[in-house]
Structure 1
Amino acid sequence: MADFGEILRAIGDFGLFQKTILIAIWIPCFLLSLTFASILFVESDPERHCNTDWILGAGPNLTEEEQLNLTVPREPDGSLSRCLMYAPVNWTLDSIRQYGLNHTTACRDGWVYDQTLYQATIVTDFDLVCDEANMVAVAQTVLMAGILTGSLLFGPLGESFGRRRTTQIPVLFLFIFMLTTGLCPNYYLYLASQFGVGVGYGGFRINCIVLTTEWIGITKRSLGSCGSQFFGAFGQAFLAVLIFFIRHWRLAQFVMAAPMGLVAVYIWFIPESARWLLDRGRTEEAKELILKAAAINRRTVPQSLFEKIAVNKTVEKGGIRVLIRSPVLRKRFLILTLPWFALNLSYFCLTFNVGKFGLDIFLTQLLFGLTEIPAHLLCFWLLELAGRKLSLMSTVLVGGLLCLCILAVPAGNAVGVTVLAIMGRILMNWAGSVCNVYIQELFPTSSRQTATGLGGIATRVAGLLAPPLNLLAVYHYSIPIVVFSSLTLVGGSLAFLLPETQGRELVDSTAQAEVQRNIAVMKTRADPNMPEQTSSRSTKL
């Protein structure tokens, strides 16, 4: 029998075929960052006042300043109230001026919003202010719930229906619901569309990384994850530029949907994972793809290699049961999931607070994206230099400490808070790339997609909890920071228990994963300084 690593070396483990797949996957990864546009730039509460045009019936020639002075009460600091107005009365203008208005009420006829920063946002279109201000956090939570659902739905389906289909269908979700989001006439339909966008986001992110990883050889394997994160960072930076020039959220949705429509066309031509096809016993289909890849890479596949491929391979059942029953896989999954959950909780708490750090929101978002670009280049280099375990521990622990240090910055120091937030967010994103690589290498082909899907669910639960966790800041600003920073420190420490996977071939069965673990343990007991085997020649298809 031939292992798939041997096949990749024969056909080219990082040739034109693999590079084409990567580019096809990286483009939508760039666009995924833009899905946060409609909710990310609504954190700043716009200047506003109640609509008091009722008084124009008594005094049609009133200036705006006179109208507001007569109809809107003042706050203790002298500013106009943003949520209260004087109740309308059926008086003449002279009587109103002589006696004044004293009875206040909530805004009855909506609000008048200042359009200096934005022409329109979901806050101004759906009046998510005053008593409805928490609805912004609800919108964020619904999007994250959609991402969680997408991970839960498309993750396990990748084991049964393949990596290709479960990468293509989420792209259609993204395109359709990006369009409908911009057309929503009310807040509740907006929530439904954002949920659909989230489903597509969650499904695509999980499956695209697995698909690219299974086609790439050992030396460039981490590109599948690091490259997608790298393009995502470009998307984060472009997001600030997009909203700076297009300050109407509906128009921004249509601009984002257009390139996603092109992706929805070409994504149907990406190939299936030959590793998955062989694992499912679909040998002839796998051979066709292997020959196609070899032709594109200008390689010739030796006939002797094809003769080694198992024609009647016994298909190993994967899924959640395998992860639960295997003590090795179960331990690996639980240990990796905690830091992955914690770093995503930190990342999204910082992301959803982009407008609250004290600096210009466009500048902050631009810095968020631009500073992540070199971080992902360093991530690929560090993964190959220091390995997976040390990379994960260092990024999560240092990132958690930086977030915790925000509490030591004096109140009002916007620059200090922003710098620490950006550095912490960079390291959390960096650690996320490491986790995406790590989980591909820790689990066999028969359950790799399930492990990735369940791990993705844990990260989406973190995103789901981020908005309500941020709301706890009304009791004390330090509560969210203490919670997510502490969890990252605990998760980063537990990562010490994971095995190193750098330089190993991907395993295809649970038995191989357990044998590999036992060999590593015996070698460590016999000679702790002995290097682990870098290629698993015993890996069978």
Structure 2
Amino acid sequence: MTFAEFLHQVGGMGRFQIIHTTLLTIPIVLMASHNLLQNFTAAIPGHHCQIRIDGNNTRYSNATLHLDSQDLLRVSIPMDRNQQPEKCHRFVSTQWQLLDPNATQPNGTQLATEPCREGWTYDRSIFTSTIITEWDLVCNLRRLRQMAQSIYMAGVLVGALVLSGLSDRTGRKAMLIWSFLQLAVMGTCTAFSPNYISYCIFRFLGGMALSGFGLSIACLIVEWIPTQFRTITVAISGFVYTLGQLLLAGLAYGIPDWRWLQLTVSLPFFLFLFYSWYVSLKSSLPGASAALFPCGC
């Protein structure tokens, strides 16, 4: 007799399966959050070189006392083809003549420019802090943003290859508990990363853990569900993942600091760790699950 036939014989879908599936489905909400998290924690705000004003021209030596921010940008930062401040270059010297409305304004590309040697100024009206603004991952370093996400996805791949094999040896429940612990710790460490390299390392290890509990949850749910209910159960899990994507957007809107956002989607896994131990214990007790089937209620 197969286990599926045994489930059908003792009553099929019962209270145990409903509670078991519900508790294992809740972490899927934050699985979506971690997969898409860098869309917000690594958002690229508007930016331009820090403004440097020189007073070589005595005619405009006191001009900075009366100029607004737009005029300061005009004399310090060249404009791109969309008439927006250049993101990666500034004028070598302050172009005071651009303030004169009667003066002929040359093309910004014809004036001497230089890279942003003293850092950038960021628009913090939407995101108060991201990994981009914290470590200046713009211009020549912009590719490091994509690299960080690639490293995370590499962790997901390695986790699927390594942890799936370990779950067959050690058991899915043990791997589920370990993966929750690893993601909770690595996600929290990511929120306190002092530099870009440590951020990538923690994200890689977090990606591995995400694969570990994702595969374990899928197997644990399907193995305890009668065959005729598996399709709807898997569909519900997919809806929960979509709900997690919507939840992340709301969290990112309310938490504009990337460290706090990272911490918000990581700390709940400590809670999942504790109740997954309870779920694992109850489902492994001899006769406990059968006692919760409809015929045994």
- The aligned residue for residue 13 of structure 2 is 14
Kindly state the Cα deviation for residue 43 of structure 1 after the two structures are TM-superposed.
7.3
Q: Deviations over 1:151-200 (max 9, x none)?
A: 11210111111111111111112211221121112221111121122111
- Find 1:227's aligned residue among 217, 232, 236: 236
Please state whether the residue corresponding to 1:46 is helix, strand or coil. coil
1:30 aligns with 2:26: no
Question: 1:327-476 counterparts in 2 under 5 A?
Answer: none
Where 2:72 maps in the other structure, the secondary structure is: helix
CA distance in 2, matches of 1:88, 1:244: 39
Q: Is the 8 A contact 2:179 2:210 kept in 1?
A: yes
How far off its partner does 1:209 sit? Answer: 0.7
What is the aligned partner in structure 1 of residue 87 from structure 2? 82
Q: Hey, what's the Cα distance between the residues in 2 that align with 1:94 and 1:157?
A: 67
Contact 2:42 2:131 in 1 (8 A): no
2:20, 2:84 → 1: CA distance? 57
Larger RCO: Structure 1 or Structure 2 (Cα < 8 Å, ≥ 6 residues apart)? Answer: 2
Q: Which residue of 2 aligns with 1:512?
A: none
For residues 192-251 of structure 1, what are the alpha-carbon distances to aligned partners after superposition, in whole Å with 9 as ceiling and x for unaligned? Answer: 121122111111111111111111111112345323222111101111111122222211
Mapped partners of 2:98, 2:116: distance in 1: 19
Corresponding residue for residue 165 of structure 1:
174
CA contact (8 A) 1:146 1:199 kept: yes
Partner of 1:109: 118
Q: Does 1:268 align with 2:289?
A: no
Report if the CA contact (8 A) 1:25-1:228 is conserved: no
Please report how far the alpha carbon of residue 104 of structure 1 lies from its aligned counterpart in structure 2 after TM superposition.
Answer: 1.2
Q: Which residue identity lines up with residue 192 of structure 1 in the other structure?
A: I
Please report the TM-score for the alignment, with normalisation by the length of structure 1: 0.48
Q: Distance in 1 between matches of 2:53 and 2:269?
A: 46
User: Shift of the alpha carbon at 1:49?
Assistant: 1.0
Match among 44, 63, 71 for residue 66 of structure 1: 71
Q: Percent identity, please.
A: 27
1:188 aligned onto 2:197: yes
Q: Which runs of 5+ in 2 are unaligned?
A: 101-105
> Using the alignment, how far apart are the partners of 2:42 and 2:84 within structure 1?
21
Cα distance in 2, alignment partners of residues 262 and 111 from structure 1: 40
What does the per-residue CA deviation read over 1:400-441, in whole Å, with 9 as the maximum and x for residues that have no partner? xxxxxxxxxxxxxxxxxxxxxxxxxxxxxxxxxxxxxxxxxx
Hey, what does 2:290 align to over in structure 1? 294
Alignment RMSD: 3.0
Cα deviation for residue 255 of structure 1 reads 1.8
1:205 counterpart = 2:205:
no
Distance 1:174 1:224 in 2: 25
TM-score, normalised on structure 2? 0.84
Q: Write out per-residue CA displacement over residues 345-371 of structure 1, whole angstroms, 9 at most, x where no aligned residue.
A: xxxxxxxxxxxxxxxxxxxxxxxxxxx
Residues 481-520 of structure 1: pairs in structure 2 closer than 5 A: none
| Greater per-residue helix proportion | 1
Q: Which moved more, 1:124-133 or 1:142-151?
A: 124-133
> In 2, Cα distance between the equivalents of 1:14 and 1:83?
61
Aligned to 2:184: 175
Are the equivalent residues in 1 in contact too, given 2:155–2:206 (CA < 8 A)? Answer: yes
Residue aligned with 1:257, SS? coil
